[in-house]
């Protein structure tokens, strides 16, 4: 995508909001999930740092590095044409200074072809967002539950159930809008709190566990297709249960290999008979010479 395409992609989301057309966002981490998202005609694909948990097996999003996420983002880029491609900036790669934030964001655009980046949190993060946006890279914000600030192994909790916390989310959201973010993700925030805040925001809002008042929704790919195991957050709706059929397929394959019923004739390559004859004759000579 060129810079013009980026601008058009971001402008399209604003248009969807104005039209009242819900925005569909899903995560992707590789060529397969990217192709699925492309074929399903979603609006935004996020290479989320949830990759840490669902793809890389870490117990916290804090553990994924910029280099790891860049590999995944490049794979997703190869599978996408239409949706806007957003990538999370990993924990520790953008908080320290505006210079650090801009340098990391540039890597995702230049090295992986991302159209935009996403940052978690408000406060000083709004300054980081402004600095990145000032270089022409669109920034998506993320408020409410911030997985990067949950200690490894700890459970995720709803944010904004008490008035102070809810007001802090509201302040952060308005600050991030003023900082020039083109959209905001609300994660695990009670529906009435989200509804009150998003009604006053001008930029598109995307919810995950935040109810139906946002302009769009996002789900983690592995959660929605049923690949992330039996335990998942309350806000996930599973549209398929692919884990069991995948296990069954690999079990059936293992059984066929063990019983020698795979591969069958249909899975093999033929060789022209004259070439086979020549090969056999020369092979015999080769074997004799090897023995001597």
* Active centre residues (catalytic): 187
The minimum distance between CB 208 and ligand KIV, in angstroms, equals 5
Structure tokens at 32: 């397969």
Cβ proximity of 54 and 224 under 8 Å: no
Rounded Cα distance between 218 and 35, Å, is 17
Tokens of 74: 């490049």
Q: C-beta of 201: minimal distance to ligand KIV in Å?
A: 17
Show contacts with ligand KIV in window 131-160 (CB under 6 A).
142
Nearer to ligand KIV, 107 or 142 (CB): 142
Q: Between 178 and 197, how does the x/- string for binding to ligand KIV read (CB under 6 A)?
A: -------x-x----------
Alpha-helical runs (H) found in the chain: 3-19, 31-39, 51-54, 66-79, 98-112, 124-134, 163-178, 191-198, 221-224, 243-258, 273-291
- DSSP-assigned beta bridge partners for residue 140: 118, 183
Cα 272 versus chain centre, distance: 48
Kindly compute the dihedral angle of the four CA atoms of residues 9, 11, 15, 17, in this order, to the nearest 10 degrees.
90
Q: Does 50 bind ligand KIV (CB under 6 A)?
A: yes
* 24 vs 219: CA distance, rounded Å: 9
Q: Counting contacts by CB under 6 A, is residue 27 touching ligand KIV?
A: yes
Give the three-state DSSP class for 118. Answer: strand
With contacts defined by CB under 6 A, name the span among 48-56, 105-113, 242-250, 269-277 that binds ligand KIV: 48-56
Which residue's CB is nearer to ligand KIV, number 153 or number 273?
A: 153
Considering only the stretches 45-53, 74-82, 121-129, 284-292, report the one whose residues sit in contact with ligand KIV under the rule CB under 6 A. Answer: 45-53
Binds ligand KIV (CB under 6 A): choice among 64, 208, 224, 225: 208
Query: What letter would DSSP give residue 40?
Result: T
Q: Which of 88, 175, 177, 215 binds ligand KIV (CB under 6 A)?
A: 88
By CB under 6 A, tell whether 220 contacts ligand KIV: yes
Binding mask 92-131 for ligand KIV (x = CB under 6 A): ----------------------------------------
Question: Which of 43-51, 196-204, 230-238, 284-292 is the region at the interface with ligand KIV (rule: CB under 6 A)?
Answer: 43-51
C-beta closer to ligand KIV: residue 170 or 219? 219
Smaller CB separation from ligand KIV, 137 or 280: 137
Write the CA distances from 32 to 76, 225, 257, integer angstroms.
Answer: 8, 13, 26
- Best CA proximity match to 187, nearest among 256, 253, 141, 138: 141
Residues that bind ligand KIV in the complex, under the rule CB under 6 A: 27, 46, 48-50, 88, 142, 185, 187, 208, 218, 220
């Amino acid at each position: 995508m060129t810079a013009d395409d980026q601008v058009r992609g971001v402008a399209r989301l604003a248009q969807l909001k104005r039209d009242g057309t819900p925005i569909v966002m899903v995560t992707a981490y590789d060529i397969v999930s990217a192709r699925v998202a492309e074929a399903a005609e979603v609006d935004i694909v996020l290479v989320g740092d949830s990759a840490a948990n669902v793809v890389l097996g870490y117990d916290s999003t804090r553990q994924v590095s910029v280099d790891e996420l860049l590999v995944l983002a490049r794979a997703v880029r190869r599978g996408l044409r239409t949706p806007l491609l957003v990538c999370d900036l990993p924990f520790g790669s953008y908080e320290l200074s505006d210079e650090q934030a801009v340098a990391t964001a540039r890597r995702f655009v230049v090295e992986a072809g991302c159209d935009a980046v996403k940052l978690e949190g408000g406060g000083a993060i709004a300054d980081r967002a402004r600095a990145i946006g000032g270089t022409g890279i669109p920034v998506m914000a993320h408020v409410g539950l911030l997985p990067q600030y949950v200690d490894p192994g700890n459970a995720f909790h709803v944010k904004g159930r008490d008035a102070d916390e809810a007001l802090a989310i509201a302040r952060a959201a308005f600050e991030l809008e003023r900082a020039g973010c083109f959209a905001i993700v609300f994660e695990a925030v009670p529906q009435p709190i989200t509804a009150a805040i998003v009604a006053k925001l001008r930029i598109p809002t995307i919810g995950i566990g935040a109810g139906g008042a946002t302009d769009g929704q996002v789900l983690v790919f592995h959660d929605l297709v049923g690949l992330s195991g039996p335990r998942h957050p309350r806000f996930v709706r599973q549209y398929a249960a692919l884990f069991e059929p995948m296990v069954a397929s690999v079990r059936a394959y293992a059984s066929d290999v063990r019983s020698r019923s795979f591969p069958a004739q249909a899975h093999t390559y033929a060789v022209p008979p004259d070439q086979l004859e020549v090969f056999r004759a020369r092979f015999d000579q080769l074997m004799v010479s090897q023995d001597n």
